[in-house]
A and B are shown apart, each in its own frame.
Chain A
Amino acid sequence: MSPTPEELEFFAGQEELEIMPRFDCPTMWLISGDLGPFKAGIPNKVPLWIALHLRAQNKCKIIPPPWLSKAYLEQLKELEIKSPLFTKMPSEHYMAMAKMIFEVCPQDIPDADCVKLLIKDIWDSRMSKLRTAVLTFIDKGASWAKVDNLTQLEMCSIRPFFTHSLEQLHRFRKTIQVARLYSAGNSSEEVRRRLRM
C-alpha cells in the first residue's frame, strides 16, 4: 500500500531545520534523539516537527532553509523548465516541508507569496513531465524505465494509478494471448501449459 500524503508529511517532519529559540533549556533526551541545549538567541538545528511545535507556541523563530528563498527557487524553476529530465531537488520532501512551514508561520519567510507561487510552478512542471513520461511508457509498451531525481510525494501521487493501470493492461494482454492461442487451434490444456510457463 502506498503511503498517503499525511504519512509523507510525517516523514518530512524529520528533516532538520534551523531555529532561533527564545528560551533557555538544557539538553532533552527524547526517544528519537537528543534535543541539544537551547539558549535564547543562539541558532540551533532541530527536526522540523519540533521546530513547528515550538513556533506555534511562539517560543522560537524559524530560520528558513537556504533553498526556501525567492532567488534560489527562480533559478531552480528555470532549470526545471529547460531540462527534459527531472532536476535534483534541494530536499527529498521539499513540497511537504514548504506546506507545513507555510501553515504555521508564513511571516518568517521573506517574500512568502512569491515563494509559494514558485514552488507550485516547479511542482506543476515536474508533474506534467511525469505524466508525459507515464504516457510514453504505456504507449511504447515498455516493461521497465529508469527515472532519476523523483521525490517521494511525486512518486506516491502516481503509484496507485500507475500500478493499477499497468495491472489492467497486463490482464488485457494476457486475454489477447489466450484468445490467439485458442484460435490457433490449440486445446485448452495446451494453452494452460503454455501460459503457466
Chain B
Amino acid sequence: MLVDHYRRDFMERIVGHRVIIITNQDVDAVCTVKILTSLFKTEGVQYIMLSCCGVSDMKAKYDEYSSQSDRYIMVNCGATIDLMDTLGDPPKEKLFFILDYHRPINVLNYYNATGQVLIVSAPEPDERIPEFDQIFREEPPDSSDEEDEDMDDDDEELDENGMNERMRVKAERRIQRQMYMTWVKKRERLLFDYREHSYYSRPSALYGLEIAWVMSRDDMESIWCTIISLTDSLVLGRLPRAKYSEYASTVNDHILRISNAEKLPRDCLKIRFERDLYLFLYRHWSIYESIKSTPYMVSMLRTWSLDGLRKLNQMLAYLGLPLSEVKQKYANMSLDLRRQLVEMFSSGTVVENYKLPDVIFGSFVGEIGYRPKFNALDVQLATLAVLEEPDPNKSNEEKFLNAVQCLNVRDVQYCKYGIEKAKVMLKQLNSQIQMMVEMKQVQEIGPFLFVQLTDSMIDYNYFKRPTTIPLLANFLQHAGIRSGKRKWRQSPWLIMIPYNQEYFVAVGLQPGAFEQVDKNIFPEVFRCIKAKMPDDVVADNFDNWAILVKTHKRQAFADLLLALSE
C-alpha cells in the first residue's frame, strides 16, 4: 500500500508512538536518518535507531526489539523482500513504513492485504508493477475428483436430463481450470520479467526532505543532507547524470524557497548550486593527486602507464597550469589559477581532444560565516570513508553513528577525519587498478570477463560491502575496458573480491555499467545459483548483485554461472 499523503498517512500515525528506525548501512540511509531524527526531535517523537548490514541482521534486530514499539520505519531495506514473511508475520498492530530506493518492489509488499506495510517511496510512473488481477486470483474449485464421487453416489437417480446437466457442469469446470492454468503461466512469466532487473530509484533522503517540508520543519541542514545523498547516488553509479541533474534542480528550488528574497546573515548555512570539477577531494589535496585518484580521470587518461602520465602532463600544460602549482596543496595555489579552474576544464579543447565531457558537473557548495567552503562531493566521500572504516575495534553501529556526525555542518571534526580516510581509500583503489592492469588479471571466460583479486599487499577492508563496492567495481570495469580490447565493452563482468578467510564477494556487473546506469540482472541470476548451491552461497545483502561465495567453491560458482548464461 502506498502512502499518498505524508501528514495524514505517515506523521499522524507516528506522532505519539515510539518509533523504531531500521536502516541499511549506506550514505543515503545516514542522510535520511539525520533528516528524520531531527524532525522527530522537534515533534517530540521518541525513536530507537538500529542499523543492520543484511537480511539476517535485520531479522535478529527486529526480534530483539519487537516488544518495544508498534511503528517501524525501514530505511533502504525491505522493499525487495517479502517483509511480512521474513519478519515472521508480525501482529496486526505493527505498522511498517518502507523508504527504500531498491527496486523492484516486491509485489507482496505492494499489494499487502493486512495493511501493515506502507510504502513511502512511491514507485515512479515508468516502473510498471503488474496489476493486482494479473497476480492474485481465486483458484476455481477442483473439478475432477468430486464430480466422479458424485456420479457414483447418484447412480440410482440417473435420468437423461440429469446426466446431461452434470456433464455440462463438468465440462464448464474443466474449461475454467484450463483458463486458470494459462493464467498461472502468464503470471509466472510476468513476475519473472518484473523481478529480472534490479535497479535504483529516487534516493530516500529526498522523501525525507519532502516529509519535513510538509510538516514545515525543513531547514538548510536537511537540504544539505539530501544533497549529500544525491551526490552519493551519482558517485556510486546508482543514478544516471540526467536524473541527478533533475533531482538537483528540485533541491535547488527548495534552497531558493527557504532563503527567499532577503539576504541571509553571515552565520547561517548558505548553499549554492554551481558548476564544479568532478575531481575527488581536490580542495583538500593537490590537483595533480586528485586527478590521479579520481576513477573517471584515471580511466579516460590511462594514467597507470607512463604514456598516460605524459598525456596528463601535456593536458595540464595545454590548459596553462604549471606543474609546480598543480602539485602543491590546493590552498597554496595562486588565486587566479584557482578561479579559472572550472573554465579551463570546461573548455572545448579538453572536452574534444582528451574526451573528458564529464569533468564538470553541477554541484553544491556550502558556507557558514567566514569558515572555508565545503563541497558536497568531499563531504560525501568523507562520510563514505567513515562508514566503511576498516577498524576492527569499532562495531558497524558505531561507524554508522560516526557517519551521521560527519553530516554536521557546524562541527567539522569528523568530516576532516573522514577526508583523511577517504584519501587512504582512494589510494588503495588506485593501487588495485594499477596491479590489475599490469598483471593483466582480466580473463575471458565464456561470455563473461572475469577478474579475480588476490589477497596480496592491498587492503581490501574498504571494499567489503555494497556501500563501496561499486566504486571499485565500476573503476575496474572502466579501466579494464580502456586497457584491454575494444570488444570487451559488450561483455558482462564477474569480479571476485576477498572478504575474509572463508568467503569471497562475487560481484556481477552489466556491460557498460560504468558509463550509463543500467538495470542489473545479476541478482536474479545469483538467486538461481543460490537455489542450486544453498550451503556455499550467502545472499544476505539488500543489494544482491554482490553475494558471498565460499572460497573453495568459487570454481563451481563460476561454472554454474556459465551454465545458466546459456
Contact = CB atoms under 8 A, between A and B. Distances in A.
5 contacts: A57-B41, A58-B42, A102-B267, A106-B265, A107-B262
Interface residues of A, number: 12
Contacts of B266: 112-113
B216 A58 contact: yes
A109 interface: yes
A160 interface: no
A22 interface: yes
A85 to B, nearest CB: 33
Interface of B: 41-42, 216-217, 219, 262, 264-268
Contacts of B216: 22, 58
A102 B266 CA distance: 11
Given A113-B265, A113-B266, 7 more contacts: A57-B41, A57-B42, A58-B217, A58-B219, A106-B265, A110-B262, A116-B265
Nearest to B39: A58
A77 interface: no
A107 B264 contact: yes
A129 interface: no
Interface in A98-154: 102, 106-107, 109-110, 112-113, 116
A69 to B, nearest CB: 14
Chain B facing A: main interface SS:
loop
A59 B41 CA distance: 12
B224 to A, nearest CB: 15
B42 A112 contact: no
Contacts of A57: 41-42
A107 B267 CA distance: 9
B300 to A, nearest CB: 43
A113 B216 CA distance: 26
B265 A59 contact: no
Given A58-B42, A59-B42, A109 B265 contact: yes
A120 to B, nearest CB: 14
Nearest to B265: A112
B263 to A, nearest CB: 8
Nearest to A23: B216
Contacts of A107: 262, 264-265, 268
A106 B264 CA distance: 8
Interface string A1-42: 000000000000000000000100000000000000000000
Given A58-B216, A59-B42, A106 B268 contact: yes
